[in-house]
Structure 1
Amino acid sequence: WQEMRWLLVQRAADHDQIDLELLNLRQEIVVRRLDLTVVRQSGWEGDALERLGLGLYRPRLPPVIGSVSASSAAQAAGLQSGDEVLEIDGEPIDSWADLVSVVRRSPGQTLQMDVLRQGLRQQLTVRPSAVDDRGREIGRIGASVRDGGEAREQLMITVRYGPVSALGKALGETWDKSAFTLVMIGRMITGEVSWRNISGPVTIADYAGQSAKLGLDYYLKFLALVSISLGVLNLLPIPILDGGHLLYYLVEIIKRGPVSERTMEIGQQIGLAFLIMLMAFAFYNDINRLFSG
């Protein structure tokens, strides 16, 4: 799934459509054409696959409460770990997805929830809190599903490489992500990609924490992605960065003489102004994401 996500994002940068070869439930190979222009039209904001209408298959989980957050709507209603939700306002709840669907579309509304607790049926009143989700108001009760780890583990695939093949794979991914970063920087300059995609230390720390919760391999991969992005940025031909020094060396080779101190001073000022502007954008985006949720 991760590989497909990355390939679709890459293709969306310079293709309007792409053909997907699929194996359907009848074990037949079918070809479906996917419109990629919606990704570029969104300014590359948000999840590209979500913009394309694609989502990862999720195993069916029973509507059993795993944990309840403190000071949440679920706690106020008296929900407890182990409760199985049977109905909400008379609507049968057969899976956790059904429960989430009803709660999300009912922000601030009073719901009658029938649960099965230790073999006894009880009715509770819950009022989902209204939260903002990318400009849309949805409901949440602050409860999580009972661990569905076993179902998830059955869908997980671990791909392992030998030392030599791993090195080749790492070099290939580094090249691909470096080239894609340059393409995105170019499109930000031309206005095709929103500057809201720039992230600062707050967002990086948030994503680092999320990746660490998923496991060491996810965390290391995230650190590698950050390192590649910083490396590409550092090599841009901007005075004050390493790429700026390389630019000066190139100018000296062409003119066969050193760059004047005045030129270097002006270049340093321009480079510093650019970095300050970039940091300001990053902090603004971080704060905006923090308060908008």
Structure 2
Amino acid sequence: MNLLTELVAFVVAIGILVVVHEYGHYSVARLCGVKVLRFSIGFGRPLLQWVSKKTGTEWTISALPLGGYVKMLDEREFADRPGAASAISPDDLPHAFNRQSVGKRIAIVAAGPIANFILAIALLAVVYASGVTEPAAVVAAPPAQSVAARAGFLGGETVLSISAANGNGMEPVRSWADLRWKLLNAAFDHRHVVLAARDAHSASASSDYSLDLSRLDSKDLDDDFMSRIGFEPGGGTLRIAGVEAGSAAQQAGLQKGDRLSAIDGRPVDSASSFIAYVKAHAGKPVQLQIQRGGAAASGVKDSGKDTSKEDEQGAAQNSAQSTPSSVQTLTVAVTPAVQRDEETGEQVGRIGAALAAQGPSVEVRYGPLESARMGAHRTWDIGVYSLRMFGRMLTGEASLKNLSGPVTIADYAGKSARLGPSAFLSFLALVSISLGVLNLLPIPVLDGGHLLYYAVEAVTGKTVSDRWQMVLQRAGLACIVALSAIALFNDLARLIHF
């Protein structure tokens, strides 16, 4: 069922993005008076075709739904054919793409990526206007010597604002996703930032925390950026959702419904930090403080909207029993079993319990005008970030593992679809921005490569020679093939844990 969801969500996402991109080319071409011969969604054998009586354009849906194209009337297509001079009707010659001014050609080619950006702005505006529930910006207890720990975070603080990138004042932090994005931008700029956060035990007063992000290297900017600098969502509750038979957790008396309070005296409010601690203590006893009993413990019912489950760790407690109406606080020892990590090959600890995390959440909602402004602002930020990340990959400052291919896109399409409309629209906006940025890269065979040709023509007054275009086309195709191969390798590596 999950595979079917992923396939359907992937086809829907790619279909929408391709239609919007190609329609951008099509609509501006029509406005500029260019005759469009074919509008194709997909490549290969046509599955469905029809011709517009008004425009004469052939509309096609083809078998391979991984792209599309708009074919415009162009004299160069007939240049090598016998009788090329008569291949195009004299009445159609003014409507040939190659006879348009360089400004019109630039507009037609740029319209595809611009359409993707406009779509992203619209989708994000809808998400912001309709409201989205996100984890609150509450910080879990950070690992010792991490950037967060050195800044003074102890755990339980709610981040309220962050120093602005331009150095003027503070910007509000509305959610965990907002905090992550702003810290990531600051890390890219190698900036010091100041976070204003409210202590867990204070209702109004806040303190400032200074973070030094100037010395982070490229590996720190990968997918688990927040974990690398010591930030994990906190402030929630962590309960045992299940215990494996014969596991260390069962041997220690752990039961479904037990709430984890602390491990070796460290407060527990983050599943990821608890897992990391257990993994690091393979074969070593750890002390767990748990709470058992009470109404909430009878069924581990996760009513929170931000729930995650992990089953590669556990917690333990003693075998004391309690009535459902009372709560007991128990401290017990459990020794994580030593197992081999499939991803790293290292020996790690595991206690064999499933965790259910329920954290505080906030609803982020904006008015119509503010939603549109936020959509445009976030689209710009993500586009610039994508370009900067691509530049860092080219210079070796960032790992090529950041490239993703169709398998990963399909995976995230399915996951976001299962999470609901807001998550799927946000995913669609992100991929639309990525598609727009990719197509603007100055690589021949992409829109950006053609724009480069036209920019040279606009400056020099001469078109790039056919010989040079052929050479550059081959080089560009080689680049695209190489990038696609790397992205596909990364997809496979994620699947089989290279």
**What TM-score range do you get, normalising by the shorter chain?**
0.7 to 0.9
TM-score of the aligned structures, taking structure 2 as reference length:
0.47
Q: Helix, strand or coil for the counterpart of 1:30?
A: strand
Q: Work out which of the two has the higher radius of gyration on C-alpha atoms and give 1 or 2.
A: 2
- Give the helix-richer structure, 1 or 2: 1
1:144 pairs, out of 354, 375, 381, with 354
Report the Cα distance in structure 1 between the residues aligned to 2:414 and 2:338, rounded to whole angstroms.
27
Q: Helix, strand or coil for the counterpart of 2:492?
A: helix
- Give the strand-richer structure, 1 or 2: 2
Q: Which residue of 2 is the match for residue 18 of structure 1?
A: 193
Q: Give the conservation status (yes or no) of the 8 Å contact 1:73–1:128.
A: no
RMSD, aligned α-carbons: 3.9
Report the Cα distance in structure 1 between the residues aligned to 2:246 and 2:411, rounded to whole angstroms.
22
Q: Give the conservation status (yes or no) of the 8 Å contact 1:248–1:259.
A: yes
Aligned residues between the structures: 278
Structure with larger RCO (C-alpha < 8 A, sep 6+): 2
Distance 1:95 1:277, change over 3 A: closer
Q: Does residue 416 of structure 2 align to residue 211 of structure 1? A: yes
Q: Which residue of 2 is the match for residue 45 of structure 1?
A: 222
Q: Which deviates the most, 277-286 or 103-112? A: 103-112
Q: Helix, strand or coil for the counterpart of 1:20?
A: strand
1:82 pairs, out of 253, 256, 265, with 256
Distance 1:13 1:82, change over 3 A: closer
Distance 1:148 1:222, change over 3 A: same
Listed as ranges, the gaps of 5+ residues in structure 1 are none
Q: Which residue of 1 is the match for residue 490 of structure 2?
A: 285
Listed as ranges, the gaps of 5+ residues in structure 2 are 1-175, 287-315, 324-333
Distance 1:134 1:160, change over 3 A: farther
Q: Give the conservation status (yes or no) of the 8 Å contact 1:107–1:137.
A: yes
Alignment of 1:117-266 (within 5 A): 127=337, 129-132=339-342, 136-140=346-350, 143-145=353-355, 149=358, 152=359, 155-266=360-471
Q: Give the conservation status (yes or no) of the 8 Å contact 2:254–2:318.
A: no
Q: What code does the residue aligned with 1:261 have?
A: D
* Identical-residue share of aligned pairs (%): 39
Q: Which deviates the most, 110-119 or 188-197? A: 110-119
Q: Give the conservation status (yes or no) of the 8 Å contact 1:43–1:193.
A: no
| Residue-by-residue CA offset, 1:229-271 (whole Å, 9 max, x unaligned) | 1210111111000111111122222232332211111111011
Q: Which residue of 1 is the match for residue 330 of structure 2?
A: none
Distance 1:43 1:195, change over 3 A: farther
TM-score of the aligned structures, taking structure 1 as reference length:
0.76
Report the Cα distance in structure 2 between the residues aligned to 1:102 and 1:6, rounded to whole angstroms.
26
